[in-house]
Each structure stands twice: as C-alpha cells, then as structure tokens.
Amino acid sequence: DGGITQSPKYLFRKEGQNVTLSCEQNLNHDAMYWYRQDPGQGLRLIYYSQIVNDFQKGDIAEGYSVSREKKESFPLTVTSAQKNPTAFYLCASQEGSRGNQPQHFGDGTRLSIL
C-alpha cells in the first residue's frame, strides 16, 4: 500500500541533544512538508521541499533542519537550538504542484523532553 511512514511514533530528547525524525513516502510525490502541532493549536509549517535537493523555510524553521537527498525521504532534525521541542510532528506529501491538490499526511511523531 502506498503511503507516508513516520518513525519513531514516540521520541524523547535530552537537553542539548539533536534528534532526527524520519519521513518516508512511496507515493512518488514531488513535494514534502513538515508541520508542528501543539495542544489546542493548528498545524504550523516548519520546512517544505518541492523537489530533491531543494527546500524552503516555513513559518517556524528556527531550531530545525532538513535534507532532501532522495525523492522519497525528508528527515527533520530537531536541534538543541529548539528550546521548546515538545510537540506532535506531522509529515505530509503532495503529488505535483497544482494548488488544489491535497496533502497526504503520515501518522505523526510525538517528541517529548526528558
């Protein structure tokens, strides 16, 4: 079955540590996205990538980094510079670049501070 796989489902970070969230898709979609969701809030865009080897900052990119070396993979690193990383992180992908095309989402990763 085609879809988006996020791993791990739960992740714990120690102070000063970088952690990487995985996002893999087998939908052959060009564009991929990372969103952060805090309790009682909507999703906020962290980074997105429309093609391999290219990505753009979203609204809350500080303290995060990404790479897009392969079409199917878009990992997100939460660096120690992100002082409040506890949140639910969602990865999404989109086929093509027509604006009315929906984004397809993974099941998310919940990140907590130890």
Q: Indicate the residue among 80 and 88 with the shorter CB distance to other proteins.
A: 88
Please, what is the minimum distance in Å from the beta carbon of residue 90 to other proteins? 7
Residues 18-57 touching other proteins, rule: CB under 8 A, are 30-31, 33, 35, 40-45, 48, 50
User: Is residue 87 close enough to count as binding other proteins by CB under 8 A?
Assistant: no
CA distances from 19 to 1, 22, 64 (A): 28, 10, 10
Please, what is the minimum distance in Å from the beta carbon of residue 100 to other proteins? 5
User: Is residue 74 close enough to count as binding other proteins by CB under 8 A?
Assistant: no
Neighbours of 9 (CB within 10 A): 9
Q: Indicate the residue among 31 and 78 with the shorter CB distance to other proteins.
A: 31
Q: How many helices (H) and strands (E) would you count in the chain?
A: 0, 11
Q: Indicate the residue among 35 and 85 with the shorter CB distance to other proteins.
A: 35
Of 84, 80, 98, the C-alpha closest to 36 is 84
d(CA 66, CA 9): 19
Burial of 34 (0-12, 13-18, 19+ CB in 10 A): buried
Can you give the binding site for other proteins, defined by CB under 8 A? 30-31, 33, 35, 40-45, 48, 50, 58-59, 88, 90, 92, 94, 96-103, 105, 107-108
